Amino acid sequence: MNRILLIEDNEQLQKYIFDYLGAYGFEAYRLENYDAVLETVEESRPRLILLDITLPKFDGFYYLRLIRKKYNTPVIIISALNEEGEQIRGMELGADDYVTKPFSIGVLLAKINAVLRRAEGQSVSSLGVGGLSVSEDTMNLHYRGRTSELTKNEYKVLRLLLKNAGQIVTREQILEELWDDAGFVDDNTLTVNMSRVKKKLAELGLENIIATRRSVGYVLDPAGL
């Protein structure tokens, strides 16, 4: 799905971008309610967001911070603010690129395709099932456009569960993954680590995806995704 969310309040420019995106095979989606930015991202699930800086209520930098707290969706800023400091600020807040107005649609499309290619290249180094994945280079957890940072142990546990999705992963397997020698680690240590993993999943809306098999181990159920 090549869906792009367009956050731009200039109606003439919005229509110009919207029409060209459609002509080049993208499914454009306009933001209608500036009080529901995160809800719109969740609803539309775009592959990329085009974000203006001069907007109603708050500026685009505010909305960029808001988006980055929950989502890792690529963002390209489109703005008349062409000062170097503004461009640096946008990139530091998590933008993937910055296009200054006025611009040609050819330049914008080239940047969109470049950012999408980079995003796809990053996803190659990930392990996942049913929309849930962990990035092997950043140790981040991803689900439906949301991202959560993992500790080293949380990452190891989730990677093992994802590799064996739908199957029981024994206590011994998890402990050996974490510490190499299961014999020197007690059950309480494992329980604490699993509780932290389940909490991270719950923050992404996946509260019951890991089932406990008493005295045996754990199962990550892909049917719950």
Q: In CATH, what number does 126-224 get?
A: 1.10.10.10
Asked if residues 77 and 90 have their Cβ atoms less than 8 Å apart, the reply is yes
Q: pTM above the 0.85 mark?
A: no
Rounded CA Rg of the chain: 21
Average pLDDT of the segment spanning 130-138: 82
Tens-place pLDDT, residues 68-123: 888 888 999 999 888 888 888 898 888 999 999 999 999 999 999 988 888 776 55
User: What is the pLDDT, as a whole number, of residue 186?
Assistant: 62
Structure tokens that stand for 47 in this block: 């592959």
Q: Provide CB contacts within 8 A for 144, sequence distance 6+.
A: 42, 45, 131, 204, 205
Q: In CATH, what number does 3-123 get?
A: 3.40.50.2300
Q: Which ranges in the chain belong to alpha helices (H)? A: 11-23, 37-44, 60-68, 84-92, 105-123, 152-163, 171-179, 187-203
Does the pLDDT value for residue 184 go beyond 60?
no
Q: Where are the domains of the chain?
A: 3-123, 126-224
Q: How many other C-beta atoms lie within 10 A of the C-beta of residue 134?
A: 23
Tens-place pLDDT, residues 145-182: 788 889 888 999 999 999 999 999 999 899 888 775 44
CA pair distance 39, 183, nearest whole angstrom: 47
Least confident of 15-19, 53-57, 122-126: 122-126
pLDDT category at 185 given cuts 50, 70, 90 is low
pLDDT > 90: what percent of the chain? 47
- Closest residue by Cα to residue 21 from 45, 48, 43, 44: 48
Asked if residues 33 and 72 have their Cβ atoms less than 8 Å apart, the reply is no
